[in-house]
A and B are shown apart, each in its own frame.
Chain A
Amino acid sequence: MSAAISIRQLAVTFPGGFQKPAVTALHPLDLTVERGAIVGILGPNGSGKTTLLRVLAGLQRETTGLVRVLDLPADATLVRQRVAYQPEGPLPLAVLTGREFLQWYGCELRLADAVADQRAAELLARFQLANVAQRRVRTYSTGMQKRLALAAALLGEPEVLLLDEPTSGLDPLGSGMVIDVLRERAQRGTTIVMASHHLQEVEQICSTVLALHAGRCVARGTIDDLLGTGDRTLTVRGLPDSALNGVAEDLQRRGGELIDSGRVRQHLFAWFRRLGSGPNSGPQS
């Protein structure tokens, strides 16, 4: 099976104007994304993440290079329907209710009304927006708009999902929900390319990472390739401190080096998730 996304020597330069120099947003870049992969694009602001996504979405013309999405040019009409793009920022048509927004988007995707309605109902329920589906989008919080945006992006059952900061502005529960949905979609074969500043989330779900800086690729590979050191760690539970000291001495006798020693804490996210799950299940001191 061919790659979902194939980029060869892609470069994007925004032309200058009066007292405005030309800006190279992306220097020549190669990238291949296999079907079903989840690729995270990392980088500081202005590094070219959004430009790369817009090129893949067919919204930005490449200055040089070749971009193929699902074996077709990125701006082909067929690709536009098989590839969903969730841009960053507020949603358009905020005068519509959440349900109407999804119905409108389904219409633009040329989905049959019945299909769009059914999928909209499922997605609103999945993203816990069913109870606010009749409210106008402009009354939604940032997090609700983000979830609705992802619901819209998923409405057409896309083969490739391009997401620009899908979890920014979401609380931990919301971003956990989004990550769960993205994992489900990836397991069903959807290729996902997401730009994010949330390194922890990228680490959680992305199989491959591309790091950009000033429009250049500075690192790429699997999470293990990039973060793994080859060392193994040992986590111990149930021993008193005195016994642990004995273990440490034994390790040193065997030629090992004790790098770190401390008490294991649960993650803040797990604590927050319990906090949000009900009044009687809050964190215990």
Chain B
Amino acid sequence: MIRLPAATRVVFRAALSLSLPPVLLAAAIAFAFADPTTFGANAPATLAPWLHLPAFTAAAACGITALQCWPTFAQHRHGADWVLRLRSGPCYGCAHAAFGALLALAVWLLPIGLVAALLMPTPHAHHALTADSSPILDAGHPCVTFPADGSNYQELRLRPFAFLPASEPQPTSLEVLADNLPLSTQPLRITGTRELLPIHFALRTIHTLSVRRTTGNLPLFFAADGAVLIAAANSSRILNGIIAAYWHLLPLAVALALAMLCAPFAALPVNIMVFVTALLVQTLGNLSPAGEAFTLALRGHWLGCEPMLATALPTFFVGLVATLLAILVRRRLRR
């Protein structure tokens, strides 16, 4: 059995017990205001912030507990000498303490994710298609072709950018072919930019998708999410909720890494401010996938195949650099 370091265990227990009241309060507020009956086209955007609230509160409470609890997480703390003498690690146990806070948050995120999953639709994998040549559909390029992976699909969502033509604008009518067979018998028309055009069809495998312009003169541009195929297979709703919740570990890890970097120079109130600011900026500024995960899950995206790891890399890199700098700074200031 893995035995956690003493600092991790101490902070884990403290974070879990001390964050209980604020997390319960935030959860009560969130689920009182998050009304699942409003579930509709705009519901994900309105529901997601309420789901963030308990997760954010738990992250803040666990992080602040770690900062308050572990004496080397700030300058001139009472009792720091007890730890400084015995800890030979580069950050005097701060990393272990931070790990304890992350574990406590992981415990909180499990029920938060499970409850959030109840509000989410059954997720399906969303595959954004990339054109094999120019993604522009206009008079010069009457057809755009997208290669697909040959999986089973049940829906296509087109959402291109539309531009003004040189002459009087006429809505562009489209014909969509999957493996050279028409996908829909319904008329398909784009009348404005970023207009969502969902096309439902019977379950089928798709290897190639072609979008042809039949009439109209609006030039269309298919950006990264301009053509998205939705897989037929149902994915786990519970797992989707848990994945969405667990992305909140990243902002906490990064904020704690920044606090660890500031620890040798900042008093506790200052370092708590640094930590909370870092957490807020990441959350409000959508700098980590935590901000997007609940919204996507509420829109029915299966997060397991979303490229969220790639979007998380800059944030992850910031956390890594902060940790390395904290280690280097502590080494330099040692004794």
Inter-chain contact A93/B79, CB cutoff 8 Å: yes
User: Is B10 an interface position by the 8 A CB rule?
Assistant: yes
Judging by beta carbons under 8 Å apart, are A58 and B83 in contact? no
Any B CB within 8 A of the CB of A80: yes
A89 B85 Cβ-Cβ under 8 A: no
In chain A, positions 63-120 with a C-beta closer than 8 Å to chain B are 75, 77, 80-81, 85, 87, 89-93, 95-96, 100, 104-105, 107-109
Inside 8 A of A107's CB, which chain B residues have their CB?
A: 6
Please count the residue pairs between chain A and chain B whose beta carbons lie under 8 angstroms apart in the complex. Answer: 59
**Is B206 interfacial (CB-CB < 8 Å)?**
no
| A212 contacts chain B at the CB level, 8 A cutoff | no
Asked whether A61 is an interface residue with its Cβ less than 8 Å from the other chain, the reply is yes
Query: What are the residues of chain A within 8 A of B69 when measuring CB–CB?
Result: 93, 95
> Which one, A60, A75, A92, contacts B78 given CB within 8 A?
A92
Q: Are B86 and A87 in contact (CB under 8 A)?
A: no
Nearest CB on B from A195, distance (A): 14
Q: Confirm or deny: B312 has a beta carbon within 8 angstroms of a beta carbon on chain A.
A: no
Interface string of B71-100 (1 = CB under 8 A from A): 100000111111111111000000000000
Known: A77-B88, A92-B71, A93-B71. A87 touches B81 (CB 8 A): yes
A96 nearest CB neighbor, chain B only: B10
A219 contacts B by Cβ under 8 Å = no
A251 an interface residue at 8 Å Cβ cutoff? no
B335 and A90 contacting across the interface, CB-CB below 8 Å? no
Q: Are A105 and B335 in contact (CB under 8 A)?
A: no
Contacts of B82 in A (CB 8 A): 87, 91-92, 105, 152
Set A58, A90, A93: member contacting B10, Cβ < 8 A: A93
Which B residues are in CB contact (< 8 Å) with A89?
Answer: 78-79
Closest to A53 in B: B81
**B82 closest partner in A (C-beta):** A92
Q: A90-B78, A95-B18 are in contact. Are A59 and B6 (CB under 8 A)?
A: no
Q: Determine if A58 and B78 form an interchain contact, defined as CB atoms under 8 angstroms apart.
A: no
Please tell me if the beta carbons of B81 and A54 are within 8 angstroms of each other in the complex.
Answer: yes
The interface on chain A, measured as residues whose beta carbon lies within 8 A of the other chain's beta carbons, has a size of 26
B188 close to A (CB within 8 Å): no
Contact indicator A104/B85 (Cβ below 8 Å):
no
Is B335 a contact of A87 with CB atoms below 8 Å?
no
Known A60-B335, A95-B14; judge A90-B85 contact (CB<8 A).
no
Interface size class, chain B: 20 to 34
Instruction: From A54, A60, A95, A100, name the one whose CB has the most chain B CB atoms within 10 angstroms.
Output: A95
**What are the interface flags for A262-284 relative to B under an 8 Å C-beta threshold, 1 for contact and 0 otherwise?**
00000000000000000000000
A60 surroundings in chain B (CB, below 8 A): 335
Contact between A75 and B86 (Cβ–Cβ < 8 Å)? no
CB neighbours (8 Å) of B79 from chain A are 87, 89-93
Do A92 and B83 have beta carbons less than 8 Å apart?
yes
The 8 Å CB contact of A108, one of B18, B71, B87, is B87
Contacts of B6 in A (CB 8 A): 104, 107-108
Contact digits for B1-41, partner A, Cβ 8 Å, 1 yes 0 no = 00000100010001001100000000000000000000000
Q: Is the CB of A80 within 8 A of B85?
A: yes
- B85/A85 in contact, CB under 8 A: yes
Residues on A with C-beta less than 8 A from B70 are 92-93
Whether A59 and B335, one on each chain, are in contact in the complex, defined by CB atoms closer than 8 angstroms, is yes
* Bound form: Cα–Cα A58–B81 in Å: 10
Q: Binary interface profile of A, 5-48, with partner B (CB < 8 Å = 1, else 0)? A: 00000000000000000000000000000000000000000000
Q: Is the CB of B78 within 8 A of A59?
A: no
A75 to B71 alpha-carbon distance, docked (Å): 20
Docked pose: A59 CA to B86 CA in angstroms: 10
- Shortest distance in angstroms between B263's beta carbon and chain A's nearest beta carbon? 14
**For residue B14, which residues in chain A have a CB less than 8 angstroms away from its CB?**
95-96
Is the CB of A57 closer than 8 A to any CB of chain B? yes
Give min CB distance, B288 to chain A, whole Å: 29
Most central of B6, B17, B70, B87 by chain A CB within 10 Å: B6
B85 touches A57 (CB 8 A): yes
Residue of B whose beta carbon sits closest to that of A77: B88
Q: Are B10 and A59 in contact (CB under 8 A)?
A: no
Cβ–Cβ < 8 Å partners of A100 in chain B: 10
Q: How far is the CA of A93 from the CA of B65 in the complex (A)?
A: 11
Q: By the criterion CB–CB under 8 Å, are A75 and B81 in contact?
A: no
A54 contacts across to B, CB distance below 8 A: 81
Which chain B residue lies CB-closest to A137?
B79
Contacts of A75 in B (CB 8 A): 335
A105 to B302, CA, bound (A): 46
Contact B335 A58 (CB under 8 A): yes
CB of B83 within 8 A of CB of A59, answer no
Q: Which residues of B from 84 to 123 have beta carbons under 8 Å from A?
A: 84-88
Q: Is the CB of A59 within 8 A of B77?
A: no
Are A108 and B86 touching (Cβ within 8 A)? yes
Which chain A residues lie closer than 8 Å to B17 at the CB level?
95
A-B contact pairs, 14 of them (CB 8 A): A58-B85, A59-B335, A61-B335, A85-B85, A89-B78, A90-B79, A92-B82, A95-B10, A95-B14, A95-B17, A96-B14, A104-B10, A105-B82, A109-B86
Closest 5 CB pairs of A and B: A92-B79, A107-B6, A87-B81, A92-B71, A108-B86
